[in-house]
Each structure stands twice: as structure tokens, then as C-alpha cells.
Structure 1
Amino acid sequence: MQSPLPSLRALQAFESFGRLGSVTAAARELGVTAGAISQQIKLLEAQLKMPLIMKDGRRASLAPGAHAYHELLTSGFDKLRQAQGLLTERMEDREVKISGLPTLLLKWLNPRLNRFGAPQGSVSFRLEATHVEPEPQFLNRMFRLTYGAASEAHPHRRALFHDVCFPVCSPDFLARHPEAARPECMGTLPWIDIDWGPAYASIPRLGDWLSAQGVPVPRDKPLSVHSLSSSALEAAAGGHGIALAQHSFVSVDLRLGRLVQLSSAVIPMPEPYHICWAPGLLENEVARAFLNWILSEARGD
């Protein structure tokens, strides 16, 4: 049967004494009296049934048989100090790290980040735009903004919003092709497609929107196909053709007049966008504030 562990206070007193070399220094480090350090070491010696310190006159040092025991204790306390340092760093970190789908970061999050008011001072953001989902353990250090079923791989998630789609083009393109405002004519004009890849085959395209309006899909191939929605929107803003845009991605360009909405009819995205995180991340006050803020922003859209 294994012997019960001594009290943590006694172990801490002995470890500090052996590392610093004196009862006075150990007392100063632990914020107690020298008498308390000596008492804890005596209690530890009684429980272990072995001497831990020896005295040469008024000078005390580790007993010969106690060196190996103290070395292992120091190693354990070093790990405890590292763990506490990591926790303190995480709790005091004022940098919010966010991994997200590129266009979601660029077109939805970026334009509103300056509205975030961090508690008790300033905050900086580190944004990583990628389609690759981070490993779940990394979400103790960052948030993840993603779409649909991809969020299910992460420890915690909340839906941000359920987006809708509609066709857009540049003002110049509409001036050159006023018939673009009529759904029955859109399929005969240059158009720009978005393809996120086989994992997102259900993402709507312009043909889906036209079908929902009861008009034929485009007969010709698209002028260009883009894996990033932001790239397709830039092509549309450049006057190249009509693109099916998500409301969350295009609202700023509509407000600035770079793009115009060609119809009030919309079709929904199949799934919502999510914010994901792991439990350890919310030990940080700024991270908690950011999560509450972004959920509020999403509700306001």
C-alpha cells in the first residue's frame, strides 16, 4: 500500500529551503516566518521518518540522503510554476487570435473590429485567414470562424448568423447592361461563379438563384470561377459580370456603391456560420468579452 503524500505546505517549505539554502530565504519567498519553515520541515521529517536537514553550528543544509528527494520535488514544483505562469499569461493576454474562412474575416469581421471595446484597456487582433480547420487543442488559444458542419469538430460552437444570397454587379456593368436587373435576362449576360470545392457542393450558385425565380440557368460557361467569394466579388466590382453574393460579404461594398443589388429576392445558405472555441480560452477576460461582442454583432445583422 502506497504511503499518503505529505502536506503540500510542508513539501513547499522543504523545497524552498533546499533550493535557496537557508530558512530565512525560504521564509521570505513564501511570506511566512522562519519558525514556520522550520516547523513544516520537522513535520515532514516525522512523516518520512528520516532526517532532511543537518546543522553545522548555526548553518543548516540538506542531509546527504535528502538530495535525491529534494531534486525530484524541485522538478515537480518547477512544473507547477510553469503551469501557473501559462495560466497567468493566458488570463492576462490582451491579444485576440482568430482563425477564420478568408472572406468571412475580410468582408464580415474586419469592417466591424474597430467597434469592439475591450474591458480595461486596448486590445490587438491576430487574424489567420485559412480554409483549414485548426486542431481542437489550438482553440484554447484562438477562436475559429467557420461554416456549417465543419464547426462540429470543435469543442464549443455558437451559430453567428444564417446568410442569404442575391445577385450583384458593378454600377458600370448595370449601366452597360440595364437588362441585368431582370432575372429572365441575367442568364444571357457575363457571370462570375464561386466554387468552394467538393466539400461545399451545396453552396448556392447563380443558377440556383435563377431556378428559384423560375427562369433558365445561364447557358454559357462563367467568365471566371473563384474559390474565394471575396475574389469573385472583386471581379464583379471590376465590372466583369454578375455574381451571386452573400449578404454578410457584400454589405460594405453595397454601402460604398462599389456593387449594386440586382433583386430583392434572396435564397438562403444551407447552413449557418459559427464561432468555435475550447473551454480554456474563456479563462481570459478579453476573450470572454470578444465572444459576447461578436455574438451581439451577429444578432444585429
Structure 2
Amino acid sequence: MIVKSYLPPLRALQAFEAFGRLGSVTGAAQELGVTSGAISQQLKVLEEHLSMKLINKDGRRAALSNEALTYHKLIAEGFDRLRMAHTLVLRTKMGADLKVSGLPTLLLKWLNPLLHDIQAHLNDMPLRLEATHLEPDPNLTNDMFRLTYGSIAQRFPHARVLFTDHSFPACSPGFLKRHPEARTAEGLLRLPLIEIDWGPAYSSVPRWADWFAANGIRDATFKPVAVHSLSSSAIEAAAGGQGVVLAQRSFSRFDLDLGRLVRLSQDNLPMPEPYFVCWGDTTLNQPKAREFLNWLMATSRNYATDEQNI
């Protein structure tokens, strides 16, 4: 098998990325504004360049071959970076605003309920919030803040610790009324448990097995009723009465205050790493950026103080 050493044509890579992401030739054609025949032709060009079968066909259906899946993942990451760079340029042209990128649940459940306190001080400057798991290129953060978790913060030019969180079991009041045994670790083993899995990049984040081990039940046998990649959706499932979630305090505090969730144990399972705010070399040159950062740090200190008083 001979694979050419130079890169394939960009149009072929673009067609391949769109096909793999959207799952169909028609979808790729519509997104790129070309015909389905043009997409198929570009896919053939790429197959010939790589000397490798990329597409499997089953009747009228077509899908990536097993060999192509890893290749597509890497290609997709590259196009994600290109789209991010293009978005940053467009945002600059749209005018001065304060951009905050962050992990989705961190923005939704921790930052968003607090923003009313700072918005009055920003006057007419809008906050542009972007919820994404995709970490921005550190070289492209000069006009934004990034709220993230763990050691990945070391990639950025500047970073400060916001807080270190902890987890505990929580469920809806109605669920607890039906299942009072949820107050004990042994009782939880017999109940529907909602798992949170952030993916392999965050393998050290505590999960139910860690909770049971910390409470003296090692090698606990249980089957989650559901596994969520987003903490926010897992919390919503618990608030809806679907089961018990291992909730982070920062994400569940307002649902607890509103009575949508009930904390089942006063024991805490610490997160292994803190949350951070990160920024680029010129981010603080923007109007109001330093004021926002100072507010964010003061808010995180108040949050840490509140936790110590609980």
C-alpha cells in the first residue's frame, strides 16, 4: 500500500470531514453548497490519495469504514480549529464585547446565575458566552477568558484558581419521599443511579464507584440507569425524579436552594483538581476586562467562604 507523503487536496478533506460529521453525502453537499455528485467525487479523490477505503456502502446507506474513523477524528479536530479561528475574526469585526468561553455546565450552572451582579458594572458592554468542551488554542485567547477544569489550564498564558469543588448524592424531594433508603450508601446501591462521564480526558473526576469506596463499600456492584456526558443534564434528570446523581456543589447549589434537589449526605467527595479562569496576553487590554476578572475572583472567594460555613 502506497500513501502519498504530501497532503490531500483541501476540498477532498473538507468533503470527508463534513460527510463523517453529518453522516450522509446529501447533508455534506447541502452544508458545503455543492452537489452530492461533487461530494462523492471528492471522497474518491481522497481514497485514491490514501490508497485506503474510507466509505462502506450498504444499499443506499454509506458510512465511514473502521479504518477511517480515527483519521476522521483527527481531521475533524483540525477543521474545528479552523472554524474557531474564523469565528474569532468575525467576533472582532462585530465590535467590542467581553468574550467568556467555558465548559458548558460551569457556565450554565455556576456562572450564569451570578451574572446579574456584574452586568450593571459593565454598562453597555455585552458579555458573549460560549459553552464548549473544546479548549481554545492558547494562541487564540488574546481577546477572551476561558473557564475550565484541571491541569489543562497550564496551557494558557495566564490562569488563576477559581475554586476546588466537591460532590455528594442528591435527588428530587419526591424521589426521596418514595425511597427514604437513599440516605444511606447501602440503600443507594438498590436505587437508580445517574452517572456522569466527562470522557477519557477527565478520567480522575469522581464517579459513583469512588463514592461507594469512600463510604466503605469497595467493588460495589451497580448498573447506572443513565450515563450523561454533561453534569447539567444529569442534574436535570435527578431533579425530574429519575434517580440519584453524584452532584457537584457548584453546579447544584441553586437547585438545592430552590428545593428542586435534596442533598442526601453531608459527606463530601473532593474533586481532584480545581476550576480555573484563563486568559491571553492582551485580554486585559479590553475595556472592562480587568473589572470582570476582579469580580470573578471575588465571587469565587465568596463561594469558597460560603462552602466553609456550610
* TM-score normalised by structure 1 residue count: 0.67
Structure 2: runs of 5 or more not aligned:
1-90, 304-310
Distance 1:293 1:98 in 2: 14
Distance 2:193 2:293 in 1: 38
* Aligned partner (choices 198, 205, 222) of residue 220 of structure 1: 222
Distance 1:95 1:165 in 2: 34
Cα shift readout 1:204-243 (whole Å, capped 9, x = no counterpart): 0122112111135652310000100001111111111111
User: 1:129 corresponds to which residue?
Assistant: 131
**8 Å contact kept, 1:210–1:216:** yes
How much has 1:296 moved relative to structure 2?
0.5
Distance 2:119 2:237 in 1: 34
Question: Cα–Cα, structure 1 residues 147 and 246, in superposed 2: closer, same or farther, change >3 Å?
Answer: same
User: 1:37 corresponds to which residue?
Assistant: none
**8 Å contact kept, 2:213–2:220:** no
User: 1:52 corresponds to which residue?
Assistant: none
Number of aligned residues: 211
Identity of aligned residues (%): 55
Distance 2:136 2:122 in 1: 30
Question: Cα–Cα, structure 1 residues 217 and 237, in superposed 2: closer, same or farther, change >3 Å?
Answer: farther
Structure 1: runs of 5 or more not aligned:
1-88
Task: State yes or no: 1:265 paired with 2:267.
Answer: yes
User: 1:249 corresponds to which residue?
Assistant: 251
Farther-moved stretch of structure 1 (208-217 vs 238-247): 208-217
Residue identity in the other structure for 2:115? L
Counterparts of 1:15-34 in structure 2, within 5 Å, are none
User: 1:185 corresponds to which residue?
Assistant: 187
**8 Å contact kept, 1:151–1:276:** yes
Question: Cα–Cα, structure 1 residues 252 and 120, in superposed 2: closer, same or farther, change >3 Å?
Answer: closer
Question: Cα–Cα, structure 1 residues 229 and 120, in superposed 2: closer, same or farther, change >3 Å?
Answer: closer
Distance 1:217 1:124 in 2: 50
Question: Cα–Cα, structure 1 residues 154 and 120, in superposed 2: closer, same or farther, change >3 Å?
Answer: closer
Question: Cα–Cα, structure 1 residues 120 and 299, in superposed 2: closer, same or farther, change >3 Å?
Answer: closer
Task: State yes or no: 1:110 paired with 2:104.
Answer: no
Distance 2:219 2:109 in 1: 27
Residue identity in the other structure for 1:230? S
Residue identity in the other structure for 1:96? L
User: 1:210 corresponds to which residue?
Assistant: 212
Task: State yes or no: 1:235 paired with 2:253.
Answer: no
**8 Å contact kept, 1:193–1:222:** yes
Cα shift readout 1:74-132 (whole Å, capped 9, x = no counterpart): xxxxxxxxxxxxxxx98xx6521111000000000000001015557333111111111
How much has 1:149 moved relative to structure 2?
1.1
Residue identity in the other structure for 1:163? D
Distance 1:231 1:108 in 2: 14
Residue identity in the other structure for 2:285? E
Secondary structure in structure 2 of the residue aligned to 1:250: helix
Distance 1:133 1:113 in 2: 22
Distance 1:217 1:275 in 2: 36
Residue identity in the other structure for 1:98? V
**8 Å contact kept, 2:143–2:286:** no
Residue identity in the other structure for 2:204? S
User: 1:57 corresponds to which residue?
Assistant: none
**8 Å contact kept, 2:162–2:274:** yes
Distance 2:176 2:219 in 1: 19
Distance 1:104 1:205 in 2: 18
How much has 1:138 moved relative to structure 2?
2.2
* Aligned partner (choices 194, 197, 202) of residue 196 of structure 2: 194
**8 Å contact kept, 1:184–1:216:** no
Distance 2:254 2:122 in 1: 30
Farther-moved stretch of structure 1 (213-222 vs 195-204): 213-222
Residue identity in the other structure for 1:147? Y
Question: Cα–Cα, structure 1 residues 217 and 230, in superposed 2: closer, same or farther, change >3 Å?
Answer: farther
Distance 1:172 1:135 in 2: 44
Secondary structure in structure 2 of the residue aligned to 1:140: coil
Moved over 6 A (4+): none
Task: State yes or no: 1:172 paired with 2:174.
Answer: yes
User: 1:154 corresponds to which residue?
Assistant: 156
